[in-house]
Amino acid sequence: MNRDEALTIPRELFLVPALSLWRRETVRFLRQRSRVVGALGTPLVFWLLIGGGIGRSFQSPGTTETNVGSNYLQYSFPGTMALIVLFTSIFAMISVIEDRREGFMQAVVAAPVHRLAIVMGKILGSTTLAVGQALVFLLLAPLAGLPLSAGSFALSAGILVVVAVGLSGLGFVIAWPMDSTQGFHAVMNLFLIPMWLLSGALFPATGAAGWIAWLMRLNPLTYGVSAIRWGMLGAGGEAGAHGPSPAFSLMISAVFAVGMTIFAAVVVDRTRVR
């Protein structure tokens, strides 16, 4: 065999390894039936609960449809999409702990691969799952009585990707130094529920106590929820009035996504092997 071929590995590789890691995530997902069932079932269950529960609870018995009911449904539907993206993208990062503990990752970090490519492979993997799930849920929106056009679907998909990348990056940074999945669960519960509650997904900042409103302003997911809501329902109407402006929300979400990705690559680069 020709050895010269082996000598021409130039710099650190980027695209091919990143795509390969991404592909591996999706192949692994599809091979684990329970994960597929869970991933498809979650949006369905949420849709039943949100559509059948919230949609109806706020209706007064005498009327078939009231403004209160449909408005809160409009408000909570995008918030539920954010919930799906939040939990799926961050919990998918448990695989980072497993990859490191079981040994797969050691061969990856020892390869001439740019650290950012390693991070992006993992992040794109979890983003795919999270956005896929959220879009399944979004497709059910018309069945809950909410309008959905092809345009708002495409726009929402793009926004969901940005939000999911940021949250996956956050999950990566938390998961990388951990050696047990139990620890990850504990930390995530500490973070995730408050993060979701204080994101404007359930209630708007305008009515909240002063310090809560401040926490909501500092929460990156607030801007994600606001951007998702805008993507789905448009800037006008009741929903748009509650949160920060769409442009600002998108910008913060994008900065968060890029920032977390780079931060994750720095964390990988700094790490000594386990």
Chain residues binding other proteins by CB under 8 A are 1, 3, 5-7, 9, 11-13, 16-17, 19-21, 24, 27-28, 31-32, 102-104, 106-113, 272-274
CA distances 213 to 60, 206, 209, Å, are 30, 7, 6
Among residues 102 and 238, whose Cβ is nearest to other proteins? Answer: 102
Q: How far is the CB of 112 from other proteins (least distance, A)?
A: 4
Among residues 159 and 173, whose Cβ is nearest to other proteins? Answer: 173
Q: How far is the CB of 18 from other proteins (least distance, A)?
A: 9
Q: How far apart are CA 87 and CA 1, in angstroms?
A: 49
Among residues 27 and 139, whose Cβ is nearest to other proteins? Answer: 27
CA atoms within 13 A on the CB side of 164: 30
Q: How far is the CB of 34 from other proteins (least distance, A)?
A: 13
Q: How far is the CB of 31 from other proteins (least distance, A)?
A: 5
CA atoms within 13 A on the CB side of 28: 15
Distance of CA 70 to the CA centre of its chain: 26
Among residues 98 and 240, whose Cβ is nearest to other proteins? Answer: 98
Among residues 98 and 234, whose Cβ is nearest to other proteins? Answer: 98
φ, ψ for residue 198, nearest 5 deg: -100, 30
DSSP letter (8 states) at residue 242: T
Q: How far is the CB of 105 from other proteins (least distance, A)?
A: 8
Answer yes or no: are the C-beta atoms of 94 and 61 closer than 8 Å: no
DSSP letter (8 states) at residue 208: S
Token pair for residue 21?
């890691």
Q: How far is the CB of 200 from other proteins (least distance, A)?
A: 38
Among residues 16 and 40, whose Cβ is nearest to other proteins? Answer: 16
Q: How far apart are CA 78 and CA 144, in angstroms?
A: 12
For the chain, count helices (H), then strands (E). Answer: 14, 0
